[in-house]
Amino acid sequence: MLEAKDLIRATLDTGRALMRIPKDDGQPRTAPVETPVLIPIRSLGVNHRGRIAKHLLALSPQDRYLRFGYAAQDSHIERYVAGLDFDRDEIFGIYNRKLQLLAVAHLAYSIDAEFQSCAEFGVSVSAAARGRHYGTRLFERAAMHARNDGVNLMFIHALSENSTMLNIARNAGARVERDGSESEAFLYLPRPTLDSRLTELVEEQLAQTDYRIKLQAKQFWRILTNIQKMRRNLNGDSAAH
């Protein structure tokens, strides 16, 4: 049974981690502390299927090849998206302010009863969003969710030439095994803790709030644009008379 002070301490630690606030160690600081930017990553549901398809279809042939391990055509991607099981698996995404999906991760749970505690990770990032560590953040987010969901082993099956994906796995502590043109990375996950559960809960809530704000902003600008068009049309009609 958790005591109140333990819950409060875990909540405070989670808040510091999410807001990236350094703990006060009592030492004077001569330079500002570099704080990483929090990237809102939200879980995607079935209502996001169309945007997922749009994101994947916009990938270049080379990016499709690295993501799926073969030269995926539009029909292959459409079939893949149509077959996504949002009840069984977890899909994570990063949206920009225009509500365009910049990156998508798929955490696929094993359907084999013998490997129920295993999950496979796959990710894609739009070309315009490269260099922002979105792949790394999505991997960390998926690993945290898998850990909290009782998964013991997360793995990646990738082409050996996909050095970016394999490096993300290596940096997370995964063991990478190469077999010719293909490689597999295995990451053993620790058991969930109160801190890991609270961190995921707060991160998801922040991402959901960020998405709603972006959605409201997009709707506002759409309404404003329509009003401006109506005004121009009215002014044009008045000038004609």
Count of the separate structural domains present in the chain: 1
> Which CATH number belongs to the domain containing residue 76 in this structure?
3.40.630.30
Residue 212, in any domain of the structure = yes
Residue 24, in any domain of the structure = no
Residue 164, in any domain of the structure = yes
pTM assigned to the model: 0.73
Q: What is the pLDDT of residues 22-63, one digit of tens each?
A: 343 444 444 333 445 678 999 999 999 999 999 999 999 999
pLDDT exceeds cutoff 60 at 6: no
For residue 52, the enclosing domain spans 38-219
| Residue 36 CB partners (closer than 8 Å, separation 6+) | 20
Burial class for 44, CB neighbours closer than 10 Å (0-12, 13-18, 19+): buried
State the alpha helices, DSSP H only, in the chain. Answer: 4-19, 49-57, 61-68, 74-82, 134-148, 163-171, 194-240
Residue 13, in any domain of the structure = no
Question: Which amino acid type is present at position 62?
Answer: Q
Instruction: Give 101's strand partners.
Output: 95
pLDDT exceeds cutoff 70 at 188: yes
d(CA 171, CA 178): 16
Going by pLDDT thresholds of 50, 70 and 90, the confidence category of residue 7 is very low
Tokens of 163: 């050095």
